[in-house]
Structure 1
């Protein structure tokens, strides 16, 4: 594991504010017995960050998984808020709790412009290795309750079922575009068109073997692909609020969805919702009747 302070010191000058925040987080991790690890990821971990990038980090806590460790995780999260309190513009604190899994999420806007996006979680749930290839460990101590991630799916893995689901959601969204256009509800049609395009990007990321393909567009951009290597018609799938323009964009999005889903299906051996796709294409045609 690289020395955390040395790694931070190697950040380029334009990331000095992010580096300052990481230095404070690292000092907190080193001086807090309950904190067993600190890892930084996403654009910083991939060496793809710029001056606008937030600090995405996972804070591992020495405690049991799930509800049994919730109290300790909450204590660490509260201490992190206190650590940055004098520099906070505002913060959002959320949690997800089941008997088997617990996580606190802290988003903090700092006065120097840096945004913190922290996951505070039992050490046994901190993903490592191929399950989180863009996370760099800055601090780590022992834990008696650490999960072994060696056999976990890689962050690039997408199941055939997931591809089928994304494709189905895309066609369903386009059917809703048509429905709202027939009602004359441009804003609702615009919203669902955007949601259909999100499925296109997730499928395209899966087809291209991107890390965390469920995040769609951001992961496609991180691949550094040929800028002309895009789903067919996706550039024409953007529209304003004109009803005719929205329908034209929806038809273009259907082409993009078809292209992305077919390539993702080939990559993941998935079965596509061909019936729904054909139905959606038929009703999207201008002037067509809809049952």
Structure 2
């Protein structure tokens, strides 16, 4: 099954995921630039539960690479504008992902009911190329534009986006600080999810990811040369100046220890984010931070 029939057949425990995906299908049918919508990973494999996030890809009527960047960015903005209509929204992260030559934009949306949307917005030609190469066999097609669909004549080939020089690769910006902080909170809410499932190895892995973001933020706060390298840059810059409490973020493979480390990581991540934002003024993801803190500390 595909499309709306596949959505209708989802079990009731996946009602929240069905709600978000149905809303996206509805909007794809009205967006001239949207050519396809696919969902994969645990949902696509039929292995999802109520805690599973939505891993999806939205194809855009755009050339591959830089030539289609404007249209991809335009489509990204349209999706983000529509997200509040799909459910009460906590926070949203938007950032590039994958090889720079492909110009893929990632949208991560955290909804207040716990639903998570992890959506790649990319030129449909990239999706087709991956399909021809045998990639993503677990993806299910939820929407496909009619073959006769023509591009919107009002939309220029570049999507109306203006060009500009790319930022210096070594420059840390407030936007980068926000992204690192947001990714750290995503890792911690994932760790909480895996702990509730009893999947200790996955929880341990996500704690390590949260720590990586903490190190990068702390390196940025210190003024290290290459902060995205995280730990190595902190140690190179000043091995005696570590994020306060970082040792409490380490745990073995026992549930109680991992839970304590996740809670400790929340405090260290918040402090490292604030320190980085003081040096590189940033709009930190406060709503996402509050949401994750409530999940980790439900009794407070």
TM-score range, shorter chain: 0.3 to 0.5
Larger relative contact order, structure 1 or 2 (CA cutoff 8 Å, min sep 6): 2
Larger Rg: 1
